[in-house]
Amino acid sequence: MKRHRHLLVGATTALLACVALGSSPAMATPCTNLGSLQLQHAVINSAQDNDTTTFVVPGSSPPTTITNLPRFCRVIATLVPSSDSNIKIEVWLPKDGKWNGRFLGTGGGGFQGVITYNELAIGIQAGFASANSDLGTGSSGCNPLFCGSAGNMGNALAAAFGDPLAPSTGLFGHPERIKDFGYRAIHLMTIQGKEIANAFYGQRSQRAYFAGCSTGGQNALMEAQRFPNDYDGILAGAPAFNRTHLHIAAIYAWQNAHASPGRFIQAGQFTLINQAVLKQCVGQDGGASTDQFLTDPRDCKFDPKALLCTGGQVPPACLTADQVTTMQKSYIGPIDPANGQLISPGLERGSETDNILALGPALQERLPEPAFDGLFYWVFGPSFGYPSSSVNFTNFDFHHDIDKVDDQLAAVLNANSTDLGEFRAHGGKLLMYHGWADPLISSQNSINYFLALLGNEGHGFQPAGFFDGPGNPALQRTQSYARLFMVPGMLHCSGGPGPNTFDALTPLVKWVEGGVAPETILATKFVDDTPPAVQMTRPLCVFPKVAKYNGSGSTSIATNFTCVTDEADFNQKPAPKYGP
């Protein structure tokens, strides 16, 4: 699912180079020599030196320029593990002694289909040899939100988010490309990316790390589970690991809002609901009473009936009975109507936002078909886009239709395994994070995964018993290789009213290489989410701890908060057949 992070944008620089006819060819360099590198099932398309401090993102309009870069070698390659595969990767290699001796694999968002250049830039700015992949979906015309669609149907918002004009079926009929998207592209990017770095530097990377959020978070957990020796440290943000069921939740969100015209939440009403949630619940979960976000939303029992229109009130100043139903169902999440089983956790209280870039219900209800429903075109084909067909996005049955999706896709796409024994055995460390206010992937998903890891160590004890104190053996064993940090007030991977900017990669490196396990991570909220003016700082606490206000001093300063062990709150957990 798509990741929105501000690029390192600066003034566009026009670079004009005139080469006289008949001039001598440019001298080969260690970088351009990589063009002849022979790799298994791979072709080097280009190897060029970038000796400026800028990079213009290909195809960006208007041109997007990334600045403050070291000089680097840019390698473009195509990986072809099957006759139907067409995986694009890029590897960026810092020059001039700027390499820190480490390799960094990076992820992207949604169905990908593109190279995520800002992730490569962040990597080389920190000294890593960095790699990124389009996951092999670009050859099917996919983009982060759509990989199979009935077309944008003239909806301007859908078109702006990349919904194509004409219907498409994404990866339908391409099982090898589905494997590439699910797990193979990142693994092979890692293998060949390391070889490219080795050839350039003349030595192998001392350590390897992976960092990604959303689909990148799914890639991260898939690597730990399927290819445990690829990386020494893995950073997984808001992971879309339970993919088939997360996409079912996206269809549910769309159907919920489109059940009738009166079910739509009007412009501005998500903000209205969020303010009511904060008024009732802020400060009850350890945070400060002045916060504009919740520290642990599971403590909040807000019922949208509190906003039901009475007397002479009318929307958008209140909610109709139909709108109350929409929000109640949003908080519950998709339920199998035949047996009442939960398929995927619902919207977390405190995540209500009118910001469509957060990719939550505010976006879904305005689209002519659900964002991210491309996954189901891979199973049902073009008929999924036609409301007259037996299975389509308007009538998808949350009892009968799920099994067909899971039978075809779950084994390839879902990173649900909690057996990380081999990853742990070679010293691997997993650091997860998730925004409490994420309106796209419910934050409870990451908690459920961590609790499942904990359950492996606890030999069947109930989750409530895990948090009895720091001496808990199961918690100690799990936290020796896996740690989770929940981020108050952060939306999907970034943004939001809380402290949403932090460096989790450096603590991961210190954990892997120095044995220093992170207890807290300092997070910052910048004014208008734009450095350098700081609005507030706050510690992110290792789960299950939360940041509790000490009771005195500014609530904008992290040192006035202490991480304390939270009580064992109720966490929405899917039925066993639907994953951890």
Kindly state whether residues 177 and 286 are assigned to the same domain: no
- Judge whether 197 lies within some domain: yes
CA 151 to chain centre: 25
Amino acid at 565: T
Q: Are strands 501-502 and 520-526 parallel, antiparallel or unpaired?
A: antiparallel
Kindly state whether residues 347 and 382 are assigned to the same domain: yes
- Measured from the Cβ of residue 474, the count of other Cβ atoms closer than 10 Å reads 17
Q: Is the pLDDT of residue 534 over 70?
A: yes
- Pairwise CA distance, residues 440 & 451, whole Å: 21
Kindly state whether residues 266 and 214 are assigned to the same domain: no
Residue 80 confidence (pLDDT): 97
Q: Choose one of 369, 399, 414: the last residue of a domain.
A: 414
pLDDT band at 567 (very low <50, low <70, confident <90, very high): confident
Please answer whether residues 66 and 120 qualify as being in contact, where contact means their C-beta atoms are separated by less than 8 angstroms. no
CA 5-75-504 angle, to 5 degrees, is 35
Residue 19 confidence (pLDDT): 28
- Judge whether 43 lies within some domain: yes
* Number of domains into which the chain is organized: 2
**Closest residue by Cα to residue 257 from 329, 328, 326:** 326
Average pLDDT over residues 542-555: 94
Q: Is 475 helix (H, G, I), strand (E, B) or coil?
A: helix
The whole-model pTM stands at: 0.92
- Pairwise CA distance, residues 372 & 176, whole Å: 20
Q: Is the pLDDT of residue 215 over 70?
A: yes
Amino acid at 484: L
Residue 17 confidence (pLDDT): 29
CA 44 to chain centre: 29
Name residues whose C-beta falls within 8 Å of residue 292's C-beta, 6 or more positions apart in sequence: 278, 282, 489, 497, 498
**Closest residue by Cα to residue 106 from 214, 240, 247:** 214
- Judge whether 263 lies within some domain: yes
Kindly state whether residues 408 and 506 are assigned to the same domain: no
Kindly state whether residues 273 and 366 are assigned to the same domain: yes
Segment 368-405, tens digit of pLDDT: 999 999 999 999 999 999 999 999 999 999 999 999 99
Please answer whether residues 240 and 1 qualify as being in contact, where contact means their C-beta atoms are separated by less than 8 angstroms. yes
Kindly state whether residues 119 and 42 are assigned to the same domain: yes
Kindly state whether residues 145 and 192 are assigned to the same domain: yes
Kindly state whether residues 197 and 54 are assigned to the same domain: yes
Segment 91-143, tens digit of pLDDT: 999 999 999 999 999 999 999 999 999 999 999 999 999 999 999 999 999 99
Kindly state whether residues 327 and 308 are assigned to the same domain: yes
DSSP states along 348-407: PTT-----GGG-SHHHHTTSSS-TTTHHHHHHHGGGGG-TTSSS-TTT--TTTTHHHHHH
Q: Choose one of 513, 539, 561: the last residue of a domain.
A: 513
Segment 31-45, tens digit of pLDDT: 999 999 999 999 999
Cis peptide before 539 (omega within 30 of 0): no
Segment 55-91, tens digit of pLDDT: 999 988 889 999 999 999 999 999 999 999 999 999 9
Name residues whose C-beta falls within 8 Å of residue 298's C-beta, 6 or more positions apart in sequence: 285, 348, 444, 569, 570, 571
Residue-averaged pLDDT of the chain:
91
Q: Is the pLDDT of residue 5 over 70?
A: no
- Judge whether 531 lies within some domain: no
- Judge whether 340 lies within some domain: yes
Segment 6-20, tens digit of pLDDT: 322 222 222 222 222
- Judge whether 15 lies within some domain: no
- Judge whether 331 lies within some domain: yes
Lowest mean pLDDT among 23-27, 112-116, 192-196, 405-409: 23-27
Residue 461 confidence (pLDDT): 41
Segment 434-470, tens digit of pLDDT: 999 999 999 999 999 999 999 877 554 444 444 545 5
Residue 458 confidence (pLDDT): 58
- Judge whether 9 lies within some domain: no
Provide the domain limits for residue 118: 32-242+418-513
- Pairwise CA distance, residues 402 & 563, whole Å: 41
CATH number of the domain at 38, please. 3.40.50.1820
Please answer whether residues 304 and 538 qualify as being in contact, where contact means their C-beta atoms are separated by less than 8 angstroms. no
Kindly state whether residues 201 and 271 are assigned to the same domain: no
Kindly state whether residues 37 and 114 are assigned to the same domain: yes
Residue 471 confidence (pLDDT): 65
pLDDT band at 28 (very low <50, low <70, confident <90, very high): confident
What percentage of the chain carries pLDDT values higher than 70? 93
- Measured from the Cβ of residue 533, the count of other Cβ atoms closer than 10 Å reads 8
Kindly state whether residues 209 and 278 are assigned to the same domain: no
Segment 315-335, tens digit of pLDDT: 999 999 999 999 999 999 999
Residue 315 confidence (pLDDT): 94
Q: Choose one of 513, 547, 565: the last residue of a domain.
A: 513
